[in-house]
Amino acid sequence: MGLAAGLASGVVMHRSDFCIAGMFRDLILFRKAVMIRMLFLLVITSMILFEIARQAGFLPLYPFPLLYPPTPANLIGGFLFGIGMVLAGGCVVGTLYRMGAGSVLSAVAFGGLIGGSALYAEVHPSWSAFVKATTFFPGKITIAQVSGVDPIIPLAAVSAAGLFVLFRWQRQGLLVRRAAVQGYLQPWKAAIALSLTSTASYVLVGMPMGITSSFVKIGGYIEQAIFPAHMEGLSFFKAVSLKYTYPLTGVYLQGGPGPVADALAVIQFPIVAGIIIGSAVSAVSLKEFHLHFRVPAKQYVSVLAGGVIMGLASRMAPTCNVWHLLGGLPILSISSILFLGGLFPGAWIGGLILSRVVLSARPGMEEAEGKLQCKI
């Protein structure tokens, strides 16, 4: 399931250039909203599909595992993640599919993601204490749980409003992106395809797609090989964050951030590999696979720093934009809403750094360089 989902996602994202980091950057820096509308479409579609699956009895675990009660850590993590994804030129999945298409910069960002994810282990005890001390609505994850109502009530209200907005955009032609490139997939089709993939994952595995735990595990394997004694003293790598029996299959799933072959590794590593391979196959079939590396040194520094910040933020939040926006937001998870609230100002700050520091050597080229950054 994981490999198939990854392969499909890699092809879809490459063909449509479905760049979540680019969506926020373009909206904030260049006032271009065409791609952020596709994210809106994806969230509303997932919201409807998730609820249909729940009503049909296919989602016995609701909310799904690895979502937690809200805390200011969600806001802070989202803010830092927003900065990191813009500087890195892609979020956690954007980095993977661009790397598969030959982007050396994305490979550098990937290295930063792994490093930042492992770095979090050094501050985990103090950050974990902060999270516990600032958690509000303990034991409650979604707006429905806090309100004490059936989830269908707030979901129906938000879905109805969202469909109204989408209908207006469709009539105005705002859901179609003009492109004359061979093999290009309209982003609205990509949004629906990714929503279907996420729903299938939720039904078959018990939770939507996620990948950042795999980055932590890779970092753990590397640290274990280089600094085994130091790693042995890090409590973060000994935690078991996933522990449940999925009712539909009866399979017991257990896993954590440590460098062991557990359920999280079995679920997420195939997705990561699939995204990279799927994008590479798509790029090769379209004759678009190229090793892009001739860029200013500042951009290498930017993507590395952005990757480190993203990796660190994905543990602080906890988890990444894919988990929150494509999984938590469609069920109105409060922690995911807070993450989104931090993501916007973070992306704005990241955009300012990108345009005024990283690309400052070429006045008047900010937008062109920004578009290039989303492609590389």
Q: What is the model's pLDDT at position 180?
A: 62
Domain ranges of the chain: 2-375
Please give the radius of gyration of the chain, using alpha carbons only, rounded to the nearest integer. Answer: 20
- State how far the Cα of 317 lies from the Cα of 321, in Å rounded to an integer: 10
The phi, psi pair for 319, rounded to 5°, reads 70, 180
Q: What is the model's pLDDT at position 20?
A: 93
Residues of the chain with pLDDT under 70: 180, 361-376
- State how far the Cα of 110 lies from the Cα of 291, in Å rounded to an integer: 15
Amino acid identity, residue 260?
V
Q: What is the model's pLDDT at position 316?
A: 97
- State how far the Cα of 338 lies from the Cα of 79, in Å rounded to an integer: 10
Q: What is the model's pLDDT at position 249?
A: 82
* Residue 35, token pair as written in the block: 């791609």
Nearest to 68, CA basis, from 291, 339, 295: 339
Q: What is the model's pLDDT at position 247?
A: 81
Its pTM stands at 0.93
- State how far the Cα of 270 lies from the Cα of 245, in Å rounded to an integer: 21
The answer to whether the Cα torsion of 226, 228, 234, 238 is positive or negative is: positive
Terminal-residue alpha carbon distance, the chain: 29
- State how far the Cα of 195 lies from the Cα of 322, in Å rounded to an integer: 11
Per DSSP, the three-state class of 344 is: helix
Q: What is the model's pLDDT at position 368?
A: 42
- Three-state SS for the chain is CHHHHHHHHHHHHHHHCCCHHHHHHHHHHHCCCHHHHHHHHHHHHHHHHHHHHHHCCCCCCCCCCCCCCCCHHHHHHHHHHHHHHHHHCCCHHHHHHHHHCCEHHHHHHHHHHHHHHHHHHHCHHHHHHHHHHHCCCCCCCEHHHHHCCCCHHHHHHHHHHHHHHHHHHHHCCCCCCCCCCCCCCCHHHHHHHHHHHHHHHHHHHCCCCCCHHHHHHHHHHHHHHHCHHHHHCCHHHHCCCEEEEECCCCEEEEECCCCCCCHHHHHHHHHHHHHHHHHHHHHHHCCCCCCECCCCHHHHHHHHHHHHHHHHHHHHCCCCHHHHHHHHHHHCEHHHHHHHHHHHHHHHHHHHHHHHHHCCCCCCCHHHHHHHHHHC
CB 323 within 8 A of CB 267: no
